[in-house]
Amino acid sequence: MAKYVGIFIVKYLVEDCCKNNKKYLKKGILSKLYTSLFNTAIFKYFYNGIILSFERYFECKNKLRNLEEIKEEEEENSFYFLVWQNFIFLIFELAQICNEEGIINLIFNIFDYLLNEPVLNSLKIFELESILSLLMIIGHRLELDYPLQTDELRILLRNASLNSTECWARKMILLMVELGAVNWKIVPQIEEFYYTL
């Protein structure tokens, strides 16, 4: 039963605000539930439901990002794209407090999906900002706990910086490359180069 509660909660958080014409979720709802249930007997089942729900959304990634054909009148503010934004927001929020293999594998799969063709050159700024924010928060932890995947991420970021056709995206990706070289922290030299006019 707890598994289905986890599935339902993710579905509710990802889709309900879109149906009610709200663009963004209230922060912290999923992470509060996760933390509250962490030391209970049902936690494992609840967590499995969350991961299963996230995996289902990830399977629909092309439709949610509007890469598959959908109605012409649906643009960036379409229901699908809002669901995609909420999915990214929720999974990255949970990754900040959870180091379980299921969530981390999904995170690396999202990085791989967004930083390769055909998505790379159609990235939205919120997607790169989300990756950047997450890496600044958990990059060092990923480095310690998942060194092989983090090395692959560095290669992926380097290649993305070379292959991106958008100047603003290339600059953000280069920032991530440089952050990876300094334990995912903003040092004065990086701040001066990327954040001053």
Per-residue pLDDT tens for 148-184?
A: 999 999 999 999 999 999 999 999 999 999 999 888 8
Please report the pLDDT score of residue 78 as a whole number. 78
* Percent of the chain scoring above 90 in pLDDT: 58
Looking at the structure, tell me whether residues 152 and 187 fall in a common domain. Answer: yes
Q: What is the mean pLDDT of residues 69-81?
A: 60
Looking at the structure, tell me whether residues 115 and 40 fall in a common domain. Answer: no
Band the pLDDT of 79: cuts 50, 70, 90: confident
Please report the pLDDT score of residue 21 as a whole number. 53
C-alpha pair distances (Å), 160 with each of 47, 129, 145, 157: 32, 15, 24, 5
Band the pLDDT of 80: cuts 50, 70, 90: confident
Looking at the structure, tell me whether residues 54 and 111 fall in a common domain. Answer: no
pLDDT at 147 exceeding the cut of 90: yes
Separation between Cα atoms, residue 44 and residue 55, nearest integer Å: 16
| pTM of the model as a whole | 0.86
pLDDT at 102 exceeding the cut of 70: yes
pLDDT at 72 exceeding the cut of 50: no
Looking at the structure, tell me whether residues 76 and 105 fall in a common domain. Answer: no
Looking at the structure, tell me whether residues 92 and 107 fall in a common domain. Answer: no
Please report the pLDDT score of residue 65 as a whole number. 87
Task: Give the distance from CA 177 to its chain's centroid.
Answer: 17
Q: What is the mean pLDDT of residues 68-74?
A: 50
As for how many domains the chain has, the answer is 2
Looking at the structure, tell me whether residues 31 and 76 fall in a common domain. Answer: yes
Domain range for 162: 101-197
Separation between Cα atoms, residue 158 and residue 95, nearest integer Å: 23
Token couple for 76: 């960036």
Please report the pLDDT score of residue 15 as a whole number. 86
Band the pLDDT of 41: cuts 50, 70, 90: very high
Looking at the structure, tell me whether residues 114 and 190 fall in a common domain. Answer: yes
Please report the pLDDT score of residue 197 as a whole number. 47
Looking at the structure, tell me whether residues 168 and 179 fall in a common domain. Answer: yes
